[in-house]
Structure 1
Amino acid sequence: MVRESFAIGSVRVRAGAARDVELPITRLVTGGDVSLPVRVVHGREDGPTVWVSGAIHGDEVIGVEVIRELIATLQPKEFRGTLVAVPVVNVLGFMAGDRYLPDRRDLNRSFPGSPRGSLASRIAHLFMTEVVAKCEVGVDLHTAADKRANLPQIRADLDDPRTRALAEAFGAPVMVHARLRDGSLRQAALDVGAKVLLYEAGEALRFDDEPIATGVVGIRRVLAFLGMIDPDPDDEPGPTLESRSTGWVRARGTGILKLETKLGDVVAAGDRLGGLSDTFGRRVRLVRADRSGIVVGLTRAPIVNAGDALVHIASVEPADH
């Protein structure tokens, strides 16, 4: 029996095929149309329906490359289930190299949206209607904010057994139990019954080989866990640390920052992480860890003011948790 085709927008994708779809968003003042680009991989055999999305924040470009490399590895005739890949959700922000939409709204605070609201609200509603509503699992790809870098990590509701199993299957170096934010895609998707992983890695406006490779391999592990592809026999994921509490070490003064720690370092409370100096190189004060854990984020800005976030440390749960 031939599997039913997959409907999205105004088209249907037949079983065993991949197809690019343009979902209309708006029209520019110059008359050009702006659309949401989607690649649907509709497997020949039955299975789950999963989405992957990138660039909800337009300057977070790593997810675009993760999805490009991911879909290049998939063969529709050998695929089970359906993948809906949306490499760029915030199309206008992405084209401008800007985190936000032209009206300065944060798209990831605009879900579930409305068909007659602001531009952000309309894009959110389109994404919820055409993508999330058709899927049971989603992986949303992010990077650190401007002038920061993140260690590859999964953020998710680790108290939900199904979501936790998906996070463990992804196999990132760290998985963080993360609270929900009102208006976020993760919150809106959970409200309609989808299980969501949020992947954080790398820096804004920059491709970085390690976070990209970790993202591609991690999503493929999730697809294998769901039975959509065969597992890679050569893939041997390392241990995943669990964190239920994170916090930023903040500058206690103003100066030029020189960090002596890097992403992935395991630190103890009181460890020296770096120092602040004046413009002549005189040390103003040291930067020390305020908790024990693993460094999952840090600033790339050399000039800091009192109160600025410098190093993000995730407290690590015991291995037998």
Structure 2
Amino acid sequence: MDEARPFTYDGGRVDPGETENVRYTVSQTYLGDPVRMPVTIVNGEGAGPRLFLAAAAHGDELNGVEVVREVAHEWDLADLCGTLVCCPVLNVPGFIAQQRYLPVYDRDLNRSFPGRDDSTGAKRIANEIFRNFVAPCDYGLDFHTSTRGRTNMLHVRADMADERVARLAKSFATNVVIASDGPGGTLRREATDAGVPTVTVEMGEAHRFQRDLIDRALVGVRSVLAEFGLLPSASVHWPGWRTIIDGSDEKTWIRADAGGLVDMHFDRGAFVEAGDPICTIANPFKTDRTVVEAPFTGLLVGVLENPLVYPGNPLCHLVKLDDRTQRALERNGGIDDRA
């Protein structure tokens, strides 16, 4: 039988049966003070895989922060078999400034992985994170929200062509999985390429905690722990139905062709039919109106929250559904996905 292993990182070690809260230095300020990232490492007494939970690679995306914190500090993990590496805030400078990107470097941390120790500030931070807390793991969950002004229903993005990633994505138990390998430099793409199957979990909007989405994401985390044997007391969750969106012809961002103020007619998670008016764009006098219709029947995975647009702004993210899922949603009118 395999034995539980210590988890080591630069300057530290967490033995089986131990939990350690770490403030790990990833960079320095202009004054030479450390920029320290919070990490909680829970190493179970029993042998098992290592799973990292990461959030706030974009500093204004907060829902995942609370998911990771609750797993690390509120769950009963006494029977944990394996290791949880919980990183609630990857982008510490962005989190402090409440900005999406690294404010000093003006770079996207989630396009900087796996990083380099002799490159830009963003890539040096990415290197410290990746080398110490991602590469030693066996699987990963990376939590995100939509950018400000938009909101996403809870869903997973994953490279479903990779069997290990597909197993992880399905075990998280969301209704919708969007298949893609992800852009280069993203945590999930680079971790998967390095042999650590990782998925992105999208949920809600920036700058706030949305309790309903957080609770549903926690169900997904527990389901993953059950699937991979980290929590013997947990059970794999089935979400009731699932659709896997694969191919550019099955999903599209609908963009504004006119500037103005937007009246959205559907919320995220809504089922719409081809030709349905998704939203109306009007000028300040409401004398000039543009009605935006659904180009095909599908599900609104993401929608606009900020009602101000100019031509080219994204209005919503629409995905096609297979016939079985479409019939099910036609019966109930979509998903109740509002927090």
Give the shorter-chain TM-score range.
over 0.9
- Greater alpha carbon shift after TM alignment, 268-277 vs 278-287: 278-287
1:189 aligns with 2:191: yes
How far is 1:316 from its partner?
1.9
CA contact (8 A) 2:150 2:302 kept: yes
Counterpart in 1 of 2:292? 287
CA contact (8 A) 1:17 1:77 kept: no
1:247 aligns with 2:241: no
CA contact (8 A) 2:135 2:194 kept: yes
Matched residue count: 320
Counterpart in 1 of 2:330? none
Residue type of the alignment partner of 1:273: I
CA contact (8 A) 2:45 2:79 kept: yes
Q: Secondary structure at the match of 1:128?
A: helix
Counterpart in 1 of 2:315? 310
Counterpart in 2 of 1:301? 306
| Pairing partner for 2:273 from 253, 268, 274 | 268
CA contact (8 A) 1:16 1:78 kept: no
Pair 179,7 (structure 1): closer, same or farther in 2 beyond 3 Å: closer
Please, which runs of 5 or more residues in structure 2 have no aligned partner?
326-339
* Counterparts of residues 140-219 of structure 1 (less than 5 Å): 140-219=142-221
**Over the residues paired in the alignment, what is the CA RMSD in angstroms?**
1.9
TM (norm. structure 2) is: 0.89
How far apart, in 1, do the equivalents of 2:139 and 2:235 lie? 24
1:73-115, Cα deviation, whole Å (9 max, x unpaired): 4344310000101000010010000111122111111111111
CA contact (8 A) 1:42 1:76 kept: no
- Greater alpha carbon shift after TM alignment, 14-23 vs 148-157: 14-23
How far is 1:190 from its partner?
1.6
How far apart, in 1, do the equivalents of 2:71 and 2:3 lie? 26
1:123 aligns with 2:128: no
How far is 1:302 from its partner?
1.2
How far apart, in 2, do the equivalents of 1:36 and 1:144 lie? 23
Please, which runs of 5 or more residues in structure 1 have no aligned partner?
none
* Counterparts of residues 60-99 of structure 1 (less than 5 Å): 60-99=61-100
How far is 1:24 from its partner?
1.3
Pair 194,279 (structure 1): closer, same or farther in 2 beyond 3 Å: same
* Counterparts of residues 17-32 of structure 1 (less than 5 Å): 17-32=18-33
Residue type of the alignment partner of 2:90: V
Q: Secondary structure at the match of 1:93?
A: helix
How far apart, in 1, do the equivalents of 2:234 and 2:121 lie? 41
Q: Secondary structure at the match of 2:135?
A: helix
Counterpart in 1 of 2:10? 9
Pair 230,200 (structure 1): closer, same or farther in 2 beyond 3 Å: same
How far is 1:173 from its partner?
2.3
- Greater alpha carbon shift after TM alignment, 281-290 vs 45-54: 281-290
- Greater alpha carbon shift after TM alignment, 241-250 vs 276-285: 276-285
Q: Secondary structure at the match of 2:119?
A: coil
1:33-84, Cα deviation, whole Å (9 max, x unpaired): 2112110010000000110100001111111111111223434431000010
How far is 1:318 from its partner?
4.5
How far is 1:211 from its partner?
1.8
CA contact (8 A) 2:58 2:108 kept: yes
Q: Secondary structure at the match of 1:77?
A: coil
| Pairing partner for 1:229 from 228, 231, 236 | 231
Q: Secondary structure at the match of 2:131?
A: helix
Q: Percent identity?
A: 35
